[in-house]
Every structure is written in C-alpha cells, then in structure tokens.
Structure 1
Amino acid sequence: MRINGYYCRVFMLFTYTTFLVLEFVTRCSAIEVYHEWHVSLDTNVSPLNVNQSVIAINEMFPGPLINVTTNDVVHVNVFNNLDEPLLFTWHGIQQRLNSWQDGVSGTNCPILPHHNWTYVFQTKDQIGTFFYYPSIQFQKAAGGFGAIRVNNRDVIAVPFPKPEAEFDLLIGDWSTEDYKISKSMMRNKDVNSYAVPKFILMNGKGPYGNNLSKSFESFTVTRGKSYRFRISNVGNALSLNLRIQNHEMLLVETEGSYTNQILLDSLDVHIGQSYSVIVKTNQSEADYYIVASPKLTNTNDSSDLLGIGVLHYSNSTRGVTGPLPTGPDPFDVEFSRNQARSIRWNLTAGAARPNPQGSFNVSNVTLSHTFILLGSLEEISGLPLYAVNNVSYYTIGTPLKLADHFVNGSGVYQLDAFPHDSVNANASYGISVVSGKHKGWAEFVFKNKMNVMDTWHLDGFGFFLVGFGDGDWTPASRDTYNLVDPVVRSTVQVYPGGWTAVYAFLDNPGMWNLRSQVLKRWYLGQELYIRVFDADPDPAKERPPPENLLLCG
C-alpha cells in the first residue's frame, strides 16, 4: 500500500536527522509491497511423477511472483518451516546502499528452522527481469525460486510498444535426486554426483509429451498481438538455448538494461541470466512448440533433457504438430559467442531514470584495480573442491558483513590476503575478501580453462560486458574490448577455454558476493567477497544495520 502523503509531510517537518528525512522522502514517492512466505518441503508440487520433496513457498512451486515498480519498498516475511537454516537472495536486485538484505552467507545470519525474518529492500533506480532463490545448503537444487519483475514508472518511456500481456518463463535443469543426498555425496569426494541433470523444466513443469510429467507449461495468446516473455535460466548446471516454433523473438532487455533490438530465431540463456523478448503472434491459429535445449550436450527429439512447452493460440483447434524446432549446434561455441557480442546497450533508451543509458559510458574510464580470476577444480585435504585463484572459499559461522560492522573484521577474516591474479601455488581453503575502491572502476577478467561453461554473478552491481576471447587473457586483449556500447548485466558467461572481461563501477558500499552461478561450483568454494568501503559514517552512503538484524557466530 502507498504511504499516506500527509504523514510523510508531517514527519519531515519534525525530523532533524538528515538521513531519515532523505529516507522518508524516498519512501513517500514509493509503494510499500508486502509478502508473507511459508517455506516448506512439499511432495505435492513435484513437477514429475516421482517421489520427490520440493522446496515450496506458500505451497507453490515456483514461488510467488514479486511484481513491483522501480523505487518500491519490498517487505518479505519468510517463515522457515524446513529442518535446516535458510536464506534467500534477490538475483540482480542491486540493494542500493544496503548489503544487509543481500541474503548470502557473507552478509546475513540464516533464518533458523521454525523461525521467521523479514527482508526489507528497495528496487531503487532499477527496471527489468530478475528472480530469487535460496542461497545456502544447496537448496536451490530443490526449488524455492521465483520471478521478480521491476516495472518502469509511467513517466519513463519504454522503447517498445506496450505488449498485450507479459509472461514469466523460468527455465532450468532439474535433477530427481534428493538435494541432501547430492550435497552429501559432493562433500564426500564425489564431485560429479550432480554432473548431469535429468530434465529441463519450464515454470516448474515437466516437458510436454513426457510420461513422467505431471503437467506442461502452456501460454495462451491471441493472434495479431505482441507479448513480452521474461525469461530466466534458474537452473544449476546447464546453459540453455530457447526457441519458439515458427516465431521470432525480438530481444529488448536483459537484467535491467534495455538492449539494441535484434530479431532472433533462438536465444542462448546461460545459468543465472535473464532476458525480455517480444513475440508477435503472426502465425495461423494453431499450437506451437516452445523448446529449451542444453548447450554442450547431445540431445534428440525424444530426449528427457529437453524443456518443451506450448504456445497456444486462443482459437486453435489443432495441437502441436511436426518436429521440434531445431536450434544451433549445441557445440558451436562461436555461434553463441557471436550472439553474445551482438547484444548491446540501447544508448538512446532511458531505464529507471529519464536520462538515456548512453549517458553512462566506459570509453575513457580510469581503472582503479584489475582482478584476474581463474575458476578451477582442485584437490584440498583429499577432497575435490572448486577454487578461485587456487583458494576455495570457506564459509564460517560469522557473516563477514556482521564482523565488519562490529569488530572491523578483526579475527574473522584478513582483508586482501586473497591473490588478485591466478597463481601456481598449492590450492588451499580461505576466507576470500578483497578491497574495492569506493566509486572506483574495477576490471574483472574471468578465465575458464575447463571444457564446460561457467557463469559469474556479482551481487550489488551491474557489469559492463566489454569482451570475450579464446585462450589466455593478456593486457593486449584490451584492444579487442567494446567500450562504445557494452551491455550492462549482473551475470556473464565464460566459454570453455576462454575469458570474459567486465568493468564495474563500485559506487555501492557494502560486502558483496562474487561467485560462480553454477551451483556445485558455488557450493564447493568458487566465490569471494568484494568489500566496498567508505570511512564516512554518513548513512546516506550506506544504510545502518536493520532493527531486526540477526546475530550469529
């Protein structure tokens, strides 16, 4: 509900604390959105005819849609009915000045079983397509995810005509293994126990035509209209290619950035990435296949490892027919990389604010730091673990943000002990925290020497995606960067045997998680934290701890 404007004005008259005035002025122009979630394991919402417990929210899988407008204040009261601790993270929501609500192990104490805690965050200066999920205990493999829409304010123009309707399409790989069994096996030397998922789901539903599917996803449309599909890869192991039989997709947005509009027959969506596409229903009245197939994996039309849904025209009397629409060769990395290079920022469009995206550019920025980060599989103390620059992150009982606030990190972590470049030293455990200069420009180069796809995500910021390349990165690789119109997004893919380079403007103070979005890599240590610090205690630069702050460790 909207805060009453009268009380906003009275509050401002009698408040002398600058921060509180500014905070309340912001909220006076916003909507307060409230959710109450009851999180539990539920066999009734399993997508397949197998005995499997799924993490459900209010007995729903996927969980409830968070549908808000930029600058709204979101309250999510989470009741943990699981038998283990729980945290939720808000993938791509930048949590301006407020890493206290980030929902990862380095920033928040977990919600204990049979307890509740309320997240409060603002979708400040953001629009776009995002999603949420549980961030600890390997729980994301069991569900608990859902869509987030952040809509533009009416006064900000959208660079495409208003669609007839919008649909959320959460695609992702799915295993029928109990997530606790997978977790236990990985912690006991079997890192490949979660290597190949069994199915691809669409909005938590099994593939059309598969005998094990309880139901399949179908979208009803009217001929001659346009529809916006908000697509997110919420999976854990596989990059996916999405396509719709006999229909093109007009790409318009990715993770809060409007893109140059390009028509696509298919779209690669890597783990953790989100897109918006416009689909025109300009075909004859019929039903059409929607297909999501894995990259770097062989499949055929009868494979379980295909996500299949239906685009249903409202007056159709004919079901889906013919072969499934074919996509690009799943092993054609160059096709995927060229498509990624073609996705560029729309420099003339506004986003959450009226000034065009092009008013922010990276053509002549001064870099304050370069981080060269190599993700790898290592053996440490006899266990296979993932590492960044040979350091496998070790999660401790005290959240880093909590330690930073109360004891300046003393005795909990050592700042900047982590190597900023890939090294040849023996792999080890570590509590990896590096300094990021507040309001400085950082360059991150992600390297991948393995033969599988990787993706990286940074909480709290957007990346300017400036370059991809094969082989090793060198300083000369900067000559190939796109510094004119690189798209801004929060999650980037790193191709096998290659590198990806991004710039980030570190204007958001806090303790922020940088991680592989491939779930088993994240769970087994491929992550670190960026500490963006400003010594000025002015709370307008970083919010103080919330009144309901949980303490632990």
Structure 2
Amino acid sequence: MGSFHHRIRCMLAFFTILLARTSAAIIDLQWDVASDDTRGPSLAAQPVITINGKFPGPLINATTNDIVRVNVFNNLDEPMLFTWNGIQQRLNSWQDGVSGTNCAIKPGTNWTYVFVVKDQIGTFTYFPSINYQKLAGGFGPIRVNNRIVINVPFPKPEAEFDLLIGDWSFNNYKDVRSGLGASIDVPDMMLMNGKSPYGYSKSKPYESFTVTKGKTYRFRLSNVGTIFSFNFRIGKHKMVVVETEGSYTKQITLDSIDVHVGQSYSVLVTADQDDADYYIVATPKLFNTTDDSPLVAKGVLHYTNSGSPVGGSLPPGPDPWDINFSVNQARSIRWNLTAGAARPNPQGTFNVSNVTLSETIILHGSEAIINRVYRNVVNNVSYINPVTPLKLADYYVNGTGVFQVGHLPIDSVKPFAVYGVSVVGGAHKEWHEIVFQNELTRMDSWHLDGYGFYVVGFGDGEWSPKSRDSYNLYDPVVRSTVQVYPGGWTTVYVFLDNPGMWNLRSQLLKKWYLGQELYVKVHDDDPNPAKENPPPENLLLCGIFGEIKAPSGAPEPQPG
C-alpha cells in the first residue's frame, strides 16, 4: 500500500514539474452524458447521445502538454466509456477508455479521466467506445494547439471551424447492435456537425459557416461516421491541406479530399470568390447517390455580404468508385519535414529511411461464420471481450486466466475461424512493420491507440516482401488512422516507445463490434526505460476483481 502512495506522490510531483516547465494548464471538464429523443436530425424521434445537452459534444480545446481532466457522469441506462481518438496518452493506457483497458462507467455513476496531451498538436475526436453507442452520437472534436514557442507553418487564419461529418442511421442503436449480420448496413443520412443536409426539412437546421471575402479559414475536418468514407469539397473554392491527426503535411492544393472513417484533416480555405453562398458537400465513397439524396451531406459557406442564397447543382467530385483517384491522393499526403510540430525539432528529424525492423505483423481483415454467427476476424480470429479488462489482468495477475500473448498468429491465418482474446507482444523501443490486408470488397480503416504510425505504402492484391520496393521511406505522413482499399494492403511502420496495452482496431463500427480488433502489449523487463504510469487513484475494478470502485490509495486487488 505504501509503495503505491509513493508512486502517486511521484506522479503528482511529475505533473507539478511539468506544469512549471511548460506553462501547461489544467483543463477541468464535467460531462453529463444522456440520451435525448428530441435532438435527432431526422423527422422521427430517436435516441441521441448528448453531452451537456449538446450533439455533437463540446470541444476539448487544449495546448501541447496541457493536463485534461474529464469527469463523466453516465446518465444512460447502460455502461459506457469514452476513447480519445488519436490522443497518444503517453505512458498511460489506463486512460485510453476502451474495453481492454478500463472497466465501464456504470449507469448513475461518474468517473474522471486524466491525461496529458504530451508532445502533440493537431485535430482529433472523441467518442463512446462500447455498446455500439457511437451510432447514436456522443462524439465531439479535440483541438491540440501549438505552444507559443513553436512556429506554425502557415499564417494564422481568420478563424477555425470544427466540422464533424459522418453517416447516420435513423434506427435505435440498441436495435441495430442486436440484429447485426452479414448484410451491408446502409445508413440513412450524412450529417454535418449533427445537422441534416441543406434542403432536407424546413424544420431541421443545416450547417452554415460565415466568412469574409479575402480572409483565410482553417477547417478541422473529421469523419465521425461508422461505415462510409467520403469526399469533401466546397463549391468554387480550393483547399490547402496542412495537417492530419497531429502531423503537419506538405501543403498541397486540392479541389476535394477523401476522408476515411476515423480520420481528421486541417484544410485552409480562402474566401476568394464573389460575395454569395456556396455548397459545402460530402459524398460517400464506393456508393451511388444523387444530389438530392439525404446521403449527401450539404452545408453552406456564407459570405458576409452575400446577396444570393445557395442554389444550382452541387460542386462536382470524383467518381465515387474511382479507387485510383483515392490512392493517388493518399500517396500525395506527405510529411512536412521542416515543420516543428509539438517540439522544436523538425518533423524530418524523426524518419524511417534507415530503420531496422524487428518484426513484421501481417493482419488479414475478413469475415467468417463461427458457430452459425456472423463475425469479423483478424487472421481468422474474432476478438471477444473478457469480463476483466486486459490492462487490469496484466498489471495484477500477469494476464493469468484472462489472456495469453500469442493466441493470434501475426503472419499467417488460422485454418478455420475461432473466437479469441487477441493480444500480441510488441518489443519496447523497436520498429515494427504492420501490414493491413483487406480481404473484402469494401473499404476498411485501421487505428492504433497510443501511437502515430508512418504510412509507408498502399497496394493492390496480396502483400509480399517485394511490395517494399514501392514504399515511400523519405517523407511518409505520420497519423493514427489509415485506410485499406478493397482487396488491397496498406503498410505502416511504428516505433513502440509507449509502454502499455494498446487497442488496434477497425474504425468501421460494425467490424470493430463484431471482432476485428486486437491489443498490442508493449512491455520491457529492463528497469531502465521509461515505464508506464501506475494505476490512477480512482481506478475502477471489475471482472475477477469484483464490481467495485478502488478506494483512495493503492488498490491491491486479489482475484475474487
């Protein structure tokens, strides 16, 4: 017990020193999470998950190295968790907010997340991570701003706008999750910041942004949907891509940009057209729509001196089935090697041009029938959640009785589909190559909590060692979510320098919920490397440790 108190005192001392050295702030937030039948974007009532009465939820606006404390009151009728999509949680997977790291927040109770946005900048999101709740909302934007001492590689814009776009279902999320099967679930609408498309209904609001001619604006654009990638554009306006998920990019000018599920971008838009109103549009990829379809998200860019409402046809975009357009654009998203990002060192200081890989992990995402039940699988293993979070089991009983590293093969596919608690070991402070192989005819999107990875390659068909000849090892962009095209592969390099238990998953909600995920245990027995933070004082216990809240001070639970 005393040793734990000592660790807590050391951790608090560390936070105090951090605040003193970086002029970081403590950001205290209180969230009341509830279900509201009156906030839905459709004409019919449906449960929408709100935070403090808002849908989408409130902005978390932080600066590099700030400490964020979010006290979540769960007023739903079922357990919930929040995860911080792209926030790296340095040395602290205790705060990751997924089923493998945290006990759920029970209905009628609260729990406080505490994390540091350590050495990060950029555009991110948060959302509920369990019980299919993301389908009903609960998501919101996160900004991590540069410290004053770090130069931003573009002039300060006139204003910044958070723009969350995603597909939406009119069905109750509980009904959807109970009826998931092999059929492709087509959403009912595409939303902009929780609002229905322009022209959908006079009784429902649409999204609009007001700009002044001659000024430049930053749009922080995120795909918060569950299944559709989309192509985004603004009528008669070009956009300059400057950042994605914490990395400043080479500044390229585009007419439109593809954004895949779970991804975020920053684009600069200059109001350089005639005073008027213009369509803001997002259309789904790999799906046919018409201009008047509710599956086309439509908003308005409104000039302050506009004398004419938006009208006419929508701005044209690429063929939604043109994979080559999307792949070529993805290859053009590259790291800005001279930008300082969160640290004074240029991003190009950290590169993969001559790294030594310790391991190659090949992950085949597919689908299977297991015991007459439709499931998604990785290397023919469909993940199942144990009643005890992996992180608790790993810390207190070395995983005994909950999981065993190695059940999931990392470079082959099991001969037949099975259920499993998939945990792979990752060598601490070594480089790993991860190949995501998409065996299906639909788009996929993979995310790794706790890290940014270098996106070094995309390709068609089956990956092989020969595929490395096509890699970009000079300036691959670093991000935490990457798309995998139908029948193709995507490769990332990742340096596993962040100890903990980290979730690696499909960002497509159905695939994630039905088993396309695993955990990476990053550990080093050497006492010298930086170690993960100790458990928080407010640690929740569950599973083999009982459904209790740990008392103040050191929890030293025994299996019960």
The TM tier, using the shorter chain, reads over 0.9
Paired with 1:59 and 1:214, the residues of 2 have a C-alpha distance of 17
**Match of residue 26, structure 1, among 8, 18, 22:** 18
Note if 1:406 corresponds to 2:400: no
Which residue of structure 2 aligns with residue 122 of structure 1?
A: 116
Displacement after TM superposition at 1:536 (Å): 4.5
Encode CA deviations 1:11-37: one digit per residue, 9 max, x unaligned: xxx999766543321133310001100
In structure 1, the residue corresponding to 2:510 is in which secondary structure? helix
Paired with 2:508 and 2:189, the residues of 1 have a C-alpha distance of 16
Paired with 2:447 and 2:269, the residues of 1 have a C-alpha distance of 28
Paired with 2:83 and 2:10, the residues of 1 have a C-alpha distance of 30
In structure 1, the residue corresponding to 2:31 is in which secondary structure? strand
Note if 1:276 corresponds to 2:266: yes
**Match of residue 165, structure 2, among 160, 165, 171:** 171
Paired with 1:113 and 1:460, the residues of 2 have a C-alpha distance of 27
Which residue of structure 1 aligns with residue 323 of structure 2?
A: 333
The correspondence of residues 208-357 of structure 1 with structure 2, limited to 5 A, is 208-211=198-201, 214-357=204-347
Paired with 1:425 and 1:540, the residues of 2 have a C-alpha distance of 39
* Letter of the structure 2 residue corresponding to residue 24 of structure 1: T
In structure 2, the residue corresponding to 1:241 is in which secondary structure? strand
In structure 2, the residue corresponding to 1:34 is in which secondary structure? strand
Encode CA deviations 1:274-307: one digit per residue, 9 max, x unaligned: 0000000000110000000000001111112100
Displacement after TM superposition at 1:266 (Å): 0.2
Note if 1:92 corresponds to 2:92: no
Paired with 1:284 and 1:43, the residues of 2 have a C-alpha distance of 41
Which residue of structure 2 aligns with residue 39 of structure 1?
A: 33
Q: Is the 8 A contact 1:102 1:108 kept in 2?
A: yes
Which residue of structure 1 aligns with residue 60 of structure 2?
A: 66
Which residue of structure 2 aligns with residue 4 of structure 1?
A: none
Displacement after TM superposition at 1:424 (Å): 4.7
Which residue of structure 2 aligns with residue 156 of structure 1?
A: 150
Which residue of structure 2 aligns with residue 6 of structure 1?
A: none
* Letter of the structure 1 residue corresponding to residue 17 of structure 2: V
Note if 1:182 corresponds to 2:182: no
Paired with 1:484 and 1:67, the residues of 2 have a C-alpha distance of 32
Note if 1:102 corresponds to 2:92: no
Q: Is the 8 A contact 1:390 1:422 kept in 2?
A: no
In structure 1, the residue corresponding to 2:179 is in which secondary structure? helix
Encode CA deviations 1:17-76: one digit per residue, 9 max, x unaligned: 766543321133310001100001001211122111100001100000000101000000
**Match of residue 461, structure 2, among 460, 464, 471:** 471
TM-score by length of 1: 0.95
Which residue of structure 2 aligns with residue 57 of structure 1?
A: 51
Displacement after TM superposition at 1:322 (Å): 1.8
**Match of residue 138, structure 1, among 101, 120, 132:** 132
* Letter of the structure 1 residue corresponding to residue 82 of structure 2: F
In structure 2, the residue corresponding to 1:520 is in which secondary structure? helix
Q: Is the 8 A contact 1:47 1:213 kept in 2?
A: no
Displacement after TM superposition at 1:528 (Å): 0.2
Which residue of structure 2 aligns with residue 493 of structure 1?
A: 483
In structure 2, the residue corresponding to 1:336 is in which secondary structure? helix
Paired with 2:442 and 2:352, the residues of 1 have a C-alpha distance of 30
Over the residues paired in the alignment, what is the CA RMSD in angstroms? 1.5
Paired with 1:359 and 1:83, the residues of 2 have a C-alpha distance of 49
Encode CA deviations 1:452-487: one digit per residue, 9 max, x unaligned: 100000000001000000011000101110000000
Q: Is the 8 A contact 1:367 1:440 kept in 2?
A: yes
Displacement after TM superposition at 1:321 (Å): 2.0
Note if 1:387 corresponds to 2:381: no
Matched residues, percent identical?
67
Paired with 1:212 and 1:200, the residues of 2 have a C-alpha distance of 17
In structure 2, the residue corresponding to 1:532 is in which secondary structure? strand
Give the direction of change, closer, same or farther, for the CA distance of 1:213–1:439 in structure 2 (3 Å limit).
farther
Give the direction of change, closer, same or farther, for the CA distance of 1:368–1:471 in structure 2 (3 Å limit).
same
Which residue of structure 1 aligns with residue 548 of structure 2?
A: none
Unaligned segments of structure 1, at least 5 residues: 1-13
Give the direction of change, closer, same or farther, for the CA distance of 1:316–1:378 in structure 2 (3 Å limit).
same
Unaligned segments of structure 2, at least 5 residues: 1-5, 544-560
In structure 2, the residue corresponding to 1:478 is in which secondary structure? helix
In structure 2, the residue corresponding to 1:443 is in which secondary structure? strand
* Letter of the structure 2 residue corresponding to residue 262 of structure 1: I
Q: Is the 8 A contact 1:72 1:123 kept in 2?
A: yes
Give the direction of change, closer, same or farther, for the CA distance of 1:15–1:64 in structure 2 (3 Å limit).
closer
Paired with 2:203 and 2:216, the residues of 1 have a C-alpha distance of 29
Paired with 1:213 and 1:253, the residues of 2 have a C-alpha distance of 36
Q: Is the 8 A contact 1:45 1:54 kept in 2?
A: yes
Note if 1:548 corresponds to 2:538: yes
Greater shift in the superposed pair: 216-225 or 533-542: 533-542
Q: Is the 8 A contact 2:38 2:45 kept in 1?
A: no
Which residue of structure 2 aligns with residue 435 of structure 1?
A: 425
* Letter of the structure 1 residue corresponding to residue 305 of structure 2: N
Displacement after TM superposition at 1:416 (Å): 1.4
Paired with 2:491 and 2:377, the residues of 1 have a C-alpha distance of 19
